[in-house]
Structure 1
Amino acid sequence: MRYLLSAFLVFSFFIGSCAQQQKSTKKTVEKEQAQTIKTGADRIDQYLPLLKNKNIAIVANQTSVLKVLQRAEVAPNIMGAEIVQHHLVDYLHNYDRINVQKVFAPEHGFRGKADAGEAIADGKDVKTGIPIISLYGKNKKPSPEQLKGIDVVVFDIQDVGARFYTYISTLHYVMEACAELGIQVILLDRPNPNGHYIDGPVLEPEHKSFVGMHPVPVVYGMTIGEYGQMINGEKWLANGIQCDLTVILLENYTHQSTYSLPIKPSPNLPNDISINLYPSLCFFEGTNVSAGRGTNKQFQIYGSPFLEKSDFSFTPQPNEGAKHPKHKEKICFGEDLSASESLVSLNLSWLVKAYQQSPKKDFFNTFFTKLAGTKKLRQQIEEGLSEKEIKASWQLGLENFKKVREQYLIYP
């Protein structure tokens, strides 16, 4: 009898301990969730009711993930909680009364493995069997035929806050196509890892292209949801039409929030350092200097065979996201910036220094003006203006932009 009583007490203690652990685990998970940033995709209760019994298309890539708090077994007959990650397409495809008819993929493709500028073919998602339509290359804007029968388009792509990063151009064309057909767009907002500052020349209309469609500075300090509202409010869509746009908001986010991207947004932005340096180093894409494509430090280094020999060098080789890197298999001299302090403004000193060390007539190519959004930056560098002088010339445009931007801000 004493043995049975002891066994009963031990078992009761175990059950009580497991129950306490369940409560503790659930509280810990909920506390962590309350403190961390919640993306629009994570807030499923906000958009699932808008999608039920609807035929939907999803604009997505590898960053389109959501986290769901799910019950999990922590011991026999004892349930706790854990956070499980799903791809948005998979999650909605498996959800009852939501009909995902097709996926639209931006530059780099649905799984995000294609080179910058590489044509993306249409296809079918192996996992779900859903048709995938590319919105890069000749077909940048969904056609009426491609949107036939669609009630709602869900847009969920991670932006990095630089004007020449083409996901905001894809957003423009999706909103325009849907506005023309009376289709609602639900935009699941995501944090901007470069949302803590505003800098660069404002794009001039005559230099509009897919790497810069709107009169905004290089770094605009807005989430993609705020940016979508600005596209609508400023009537930048064709003929001034406006899209039926719903933004699913972030939680626990401000423009000064630090946010480490859980998934790289494109093949050549592998980490937080590259994302922070990208707005400054992308100007090199319009020159004969490599920004590290074809290495494992993309947008964390720069160099070329024409710069002065130094202790630091690298040799670009084909790799994922750079099948034909600039200066392939040639020794490039330059600088390693991977240990630099985080930037809170554009840095032009590297660009100016590289120009001064390079053969002048071969330094710039025609892409540079598209990236800069103006001819003035190239002219200023060629005329020998200092970084301080160049930046001073941007101030009036930046102040005017800030007044426009303020109207569309959602977060402090």
Structure 2
Amino acid sequence: MTYRDLNTPLRTIMTPGPVEVDPRVLRAMSTPIVGQFDPAFTTIMNEVMEMLRHLFQTKNKWAFPVDGTSRSGIEAMLCSVIEPGDKVLVPIFGRFGYLLTEICERYGAEVHTLECEWGTVFDQKVIIDEVRRISPKITAIVHGETSTGCMQPLDQIGAACRELDCLLIVDAVATTGGTPVKVDEWFIDGLIAGTQKCLSVPSGMAPITFNDRVEKVINARKKVERGISTDEDRIREQQLNHSFIKSNYFDLSMLQDYWGPRRLNHHTEATSMLYALREGLRILLEEGLDARFNRHLHHERALIAGIEAMGLALYGNRECKLPMVTCVTVPAGVEPESVRSMLLHEFGIEIASSFGPLHGKIWRIGSMGYSCRKENILFVLGALEAVLIRHGAKVETGKALQAALDVYQEKI
């Protein structure tokens, strides 16, 4: 059997991830392969760690990618600190809070949850009061919920968790690189990012960072797990053999040995993906964090102006809106999947539906990383208006693009 050359269609990807990959990143991925312990490659590893510290706004020693999609980083962080019976608090305000709950339960945690209505977030005091009430070892929370387009404030929760001796683990997959994520200032103990969203790198790595509080937990388990050092350790190993880190691949104690100066072999590094991450981070730092965050806000304003001028309604509480995901309520009488299909097949534009109780009720338009560009915003607004007219929806014809152009022509 003969197979044709790979020829994927060109798309304008306006989803909450994956997003369009920066052309510079694609070029970097064609860089020749070198061995993972070649000094040229270990230099790249060190550079990536340093650039991640700048991105995360942290002085943490540990900042490196886990090979795998964003979920691999989440699982690595949680499985390395959770021991069976540990109390974990998970505040849920969308689909990915349930994911955190499932992962914690799989590793034997006693999970306590808080839930609020989708489209809203928690008052930080509610979470802090619950931490005081149940005294969990870990609070695990999503920063930006792409399923609802909402962003949870964290600036008070971390300080309270630190005071109450609770680790704060944050899923910042959707927000890292698109809005401020201040690891040290917000007292975040462990944080997980993703490459395929605001970093505009293909899916396949999960940058993480963690501080000495997390490292202390990991290293205490590492000593027991490997049965090293003293007779007392061996006795403790027998007593606590149920509490070892269950995963080999996601064991952060082993990844520390791999990414640290010892360079102990753990797995074969995803060489081309690391090239991609390095270039994505280099692009981000060249642009500057503040400039990048402001770019996402600027294009979000233009997108919102166009959507509302068209006569469509946004979903969710505007006060807690995620800057790089805009949720639009599907107009009455319109078949949402038919609209998405026509956008894709007639215009080459992809937008997203949603999950669970919001499936079929909203569209999610992403404006992340390299996809967050003026031409993309104008294109999706014009195409969405045309498709809605073809579907018989009542829209304010011609107003969407003008409203967006008004934003772009403002003096900044």
Q: Which has the higher contact order (CA 8 A, sep 6+)?
A: 2
Larger radius of gyration: 1
TM-score normalised by structure 1 residue count: 0.37
TM-score by length of structure 2 reads: 0.37
Q: Normalized per residue, which structure has more helix?
A: 2
